[in-house]
Chains A and B, each alone.
Chain A
């Protein structure tokens, strides 16, 4: 009897030690992984692949391989993320919101990615964000434009490391009034879907607030991927507005510009291309002088001259023989934001690998350096980034860069073109930009 009691005691002791060990290891948080798996979702096929998806994918490839090799300038000169290499899992954004919701679930639950960076289409962002929250999976949206996401709901695991469409169009309105203060009439040609409708509304309302006597002469919404704009061009030529605003992108933008050339639309009106940066390297000399070019923030030709940007342009151009455009910059912002957050959480954790929640807490409200300058996660409870925006106007062809040079470049700081925290964009514009601080 005594022997068996001793046996039980010994067993109890062993069990107790085991339980304590398991308890300690769980308490110490997740172990340092062999790699950080990052799901990357961007258009690899379809109309948005060439102008956006592939430049973003290229940026992800080159930045991740440089990061893993530890060749990025400070403050990102440590290899990988805290010494752990990054492994991208790249998938196509095609197939619609329904397919993307299924693919997001697969990335998180089957591929076991640590986070997902993705989504160019606003519909995909809107559909996937609640799923990320449901699965408690980190999601960093890198390129979609809608301002709805953080203005309608609050999230814990969802972030966006670039500014939304408001800054493009408020910035465009402010820029026009700076270089053409006498502007009296405006017109818009935008694709008939949410992006085009939002962009034009924001631009028109901003112009009306900034200069109430401005008249709108034409509002055109050809369908997405129409590709043929002779009727619209005729109407715009007849209306003779001082300024024509367009948020066209990709093939539509190129078609519109090329079809407008022989009809000299740019001589009668000042064209404002909010996504114009993407066509500068593609169309070269075909873009006439006097066209206002935006890049959805300080990206591409309008990016600041900082060491990170010089490095980024160089490694990207060496690898792909073309310079990075704004979707590439958006991708860089997401990747550097993630690295910054992980390493901040790692430091706060005294070297123990952080949980998703700790990474999310570190990214919330963070400020970090990117090739586009310093990004602040200032809106949506620290989940939505603000950026400044820059615009310039084409002047002459530069034979060295094979691009039109931009002059009269003007940078509007983030406080000038973004609503303050807690205010919806629409309301901010309707109330005449309260709290905006512009130079």
Chain B
């Protein structure tokens, strides 16, 4: 969330673009999945900046993924550049409605309300079997880009680059937000809400704006996940999905934009290698990795980088 972060960001985007050409295809897929999740983690971090912990980002994550699925199924839209904005718009729309209620609450009440709303969506998706396909979910065919129909590896690479571009855009937007008055005020709300109100700043509007941004980011993550995986199911709205996002936020560190993204990549890699080398104990390996990080890097994976920056500035 500073100039150095911006420079590093550009470097990272170049590295990611190169990675798409060099890395094995399964790793590129995993990376695309991690970036999509990373964007959703940013949505958690934006709220954390305002002192709010959401356990219900699955609501926006899943609603955007299903919005893409339905646009494909009902209207035959296959264009990624239409599907992504449409899905994000659905998520933001839902966020605008849900925000009217939940943005008034703080602390555990906020966490529980967001959790409840996402579980309502989960219940609807499971039970409206005729429309949503229930627990079987719905298929997402390969999207097109600017009318270009690709298949196989090319299509995967396309979705990957879409994820890289969207992630870069999201990171830039969150960086700008954090540096803007609204972002600073959100930070101030976390520190002392009453004082912000006495200073004459509209607390409810600041929180509502953070909530809208957050729902859009979670929606973007959901849309990218849907296009990448090719299948959506109600598990995306389940509380474990939302919990995972909070978990990655803590893992990556919540102080920067790049931390959560790095956290998402590391999390997916740890999980994949744990699946590979310990099929019977992968949960324990993931848990142990988390414990170690919390014990030795309480500020998150990114905190050593931040420390180096701060030292250089000083």
Contact = CB atoms under 8 A, between A and B. Distances in A.
A122 B136 contact: yes
A127 interface: yes
Contact of B136 (A92, A105, A111, A123): A123
A97 B33 CA distance: 12
Interface of A: 44-45, 90-92, 94-99, 101-103, 105-106, 108-111, 122-123, 126-127, 130-131, 134, 146, 148, 192-195, 197, 221, 223-224
Contact of A130 (B24, B25, B230, B268): B230
Among all A-B residue pairs, the 6 with the closest Cβ atoms: A127-B231, A193-B135, A109-B26, A105-B26, A194-B134, A194-B136
Contacts of B109: none
Given A101-B230, A105-B26, A123-B233, A197 B134 contact: yes
Interface of B: 24-27, 29-30, 33, 126-127, 129, 133-137, 139, 151-152, 155, 225, 229-231, 233, 235-236, 268, 271-272, 275-276, 279-280, 282-283
A357 B29 CA distance: 25
Contacts of A134: 151-152, 155
A194 B30 contact: no
A131 B230 contact: yes
Contacts of A110: 24, 26-27, 276
A99 B233 CA distance: 12
Contacts of B155: 134
Nearest to A123: B233
Nearest to B156: A134
A97 B24 contact: no
Given A123-B135, A127-B231, 16 more contacts: A44-B279, A90-B279, A91-B275, A97-B231, A98-B229, A102-B26, A102-B33, A106-B30, A106-B275, A111-B276, A122-B136, A123-B231, A123-B233, A131-B230, A146-B136, A224-B135
Contacts of A91: 275-276, 279
Given A105-B29, A106-B276, A193-B126, A130 B139 contact: yes
Contact of B233 (A90, A96, A130, A197): A96
Contacts of B151: 134
B275 A97 contact: no
29 contacts: A44-B280, A91-B279, A92-B275, A92-B282, A94-B283, A97-B229, A98-B225, A98-B236, A99-B271, A102-B268, A106-B30, A106-B272, A110-B26, A110-B27, A123-B135, A123-B136, A123-B137, A123-B235, A126-B136, A126-B231, A127-B230, A127-B231, A192-B126, A193-B134, A194-B134, A194-B135, A197-B134, A221-B127, A223-B126
Contacts of B30: 102, 105-106
B29 A102 contact: yes
A27 to B, nearest CB: 25
Contacts of A195: 135
B127 A192 contact: yes
A45 B286 CA distance: 14
A109 B26 CA distance: 6
Contacts of A101: 29, 229-231
Given A123-B136, A194-B129, A197-B129, A97 B233 contact: yes
Contacts of A192: 126-127
Contacts of B126: 192-193, 223
Nearest to B268: A102
B137 A126 contact: yes
Contacts of B129: 194, 197
A103 B231 contact: no
B237 to A, nearest CB: 11
A103 B275 contact: yes
Contacts of B230: 101, 127, 130-131
B160 to A, nearest CB: 12
A96 B26 contact: no
A96 B235 contact: yes
Contacts of B24: 109-110
B272 A194 contact: no
Nearest to A98: B229
A1 B279 CA distance: 67
A248 to B, nearest CB: 15
Contacts of A45: 280, 283
Contacts of B26: 102, 105-106, 108-110
A101 B25 CA distance: 13
A223 B234 CA distance: 14
A161 to B, nearest CB: 20
A357 to B, nearest CB: 16
Contacts of A102: 26, 29-30, 33, 268, 272
Given A91-B279, A105-B29, A106-B272, A126 B229 contact: no
B33 to A, nearest CB: 6
Contacts of A90: 279
B235 A97 contact: yes
A131 B126 CA distance: 24
Name which of B25, B271, B279 has the most chain A CB atoms within 10 A of its CB: B279
Nearest to B232: A97
B136 A148 contact: yes
